[in-house]
Copies of this chain bind each other. A is one copy, B any other.
Amino acid sequence: MVGQKQKVAIIGSGNWGSAIAKIAGYNAARHKDIFDPIVNMYVYEEVIDGKKLTDIINRDHVNTKYLPHARLPENVVAVPKAEDAACGATLLVFVLPHQVRRFVVDPQFIQNVCKSLKNAISPNAHAISMIKGVEVSQHDISIYADVIQQALNIPCAALSGANIANEVASGLFSETTVGYRPHQRHLAEYYVKLFDTPKFRVGMIEDVAGVSLCGALKNIIAIGAGLVDGLGWGGNAKAAIMRIGLMEMRRFSLEFFENVRPETFTETSAGVADLITTCYGGRNRKCAEAFVKTRKPFHVLEAELLNGQKLQGTETAKDVYEFLQARGKVDEYPLLRTIYEICFEGLDPAQLTERL
């Protein structure tokens, strides 16, 4: 790690963005030989009790809206324009909520953010994406690390893991995984330096797509796990759905993406560990359980149970199903198919295991 100091910009400041800013700020200050200690954080400006959120963060060092119980280091500076936050940045951390694209008119939300950054960042910048989900348009499926890489023409890695944001922010023990591209281990080492702490252990694997896809596809499997809970089928059936789901996640990723490593799914925090936390906690599991018990449709349960948050698992199930259908591969993914049909086509949840 020689050369210029890394100038970090965090693009996003939701629950997870604020938690990761806490860690990045701590490490940037600790490793002054590697990082410029000032970490800019792009904060979408909102007014809270008559005050600007950026002003609250910069004065009180708390993101009162999205991470109210954690204190951010003072060297994390909230900036209300993305291009200002990224000015001169060499290391960009993308942690925008991917569901935003469902709220706004423009479906190319993330591409547009990238466009606004293009002239601001350092010419030798690089990025890491923590954005969950996949971009699907019928025949095509892309991970956000690729979307960012293409939009900015800079290398983009990915980070994912069993990382409930509030637990990470509270300093409880967690692991995570950085997926990097071939020949870019030297960049991954910056991400490890920026994020690794004794309570937040960062592993590395040469697999951007696998790490990204784990973070998206696990939400579909969590719907399956929640269906088992709703059916009252017990621990054996739930573990079986998780195991079969992990195998379908891996098969899907190996079939449709390049340079995917199978062990990303079975050995890393991004894979098996995140699947476990998501299938035992989290909103996808919860809504799927309620779906079986109440028979209300998912958009109703989402409104009733999630307090404004969106359900990623059902959306991703639909995106992935449509992609598989466009490719003529639906039959090869019986669990992904069955979960989709239960969610959207009226298939009886009790049929969950019939095709497996």
Contact = CB atoms under 8 A, between A and B. Distances in A.
Contacts of A199: 353
A175 interface: yes
Interface string A221-235: 000000000000111
Interface string A255-280: 00000000100111100111011001
A247 B263 CA distance: 11
B172 A242 contact: no
Given A234-B164, A267-B266, A281-B235, A240 B272 contact: no
Contacts of A238: 276-277
A266 B269 contact: no
A266 B173 CA distance: 23
A310 interface: no
Counted per complex, copies of this chain come to: 2
A352 B199 CA distance: 12
Nearest to A282: B235
Contacts of A272: 239, 242-243, 246, 266, 272
Given A162-B235, A164-B234, A235-B162, A240 B266 contact: no
Interface residues of A, number: 41
A124 interface: no
Contact of A240 (B162, B234, B267): B162
Given A174-B237, A236-B163, A269-B240, A280 B280 contact: yes
Contact of A167 (B163, B237, B246): B237
A168 interface: yes
A175 B273 contact: no
26 contacts: A161-B236, A162-B235, A162-B236, A162-B240, A162-B243, A164-B234, A164-B235, A164-B236, A167-B234, A167-B237, A168-B236, A172-B236, A173-B240, A173-B353, A175-B240, A201-B240, A235-B281, A238-B276, A239-B274, A239-B277, A242-B273, A243-B268, A243-B269, A243-B276, A246-B272, A247-B267
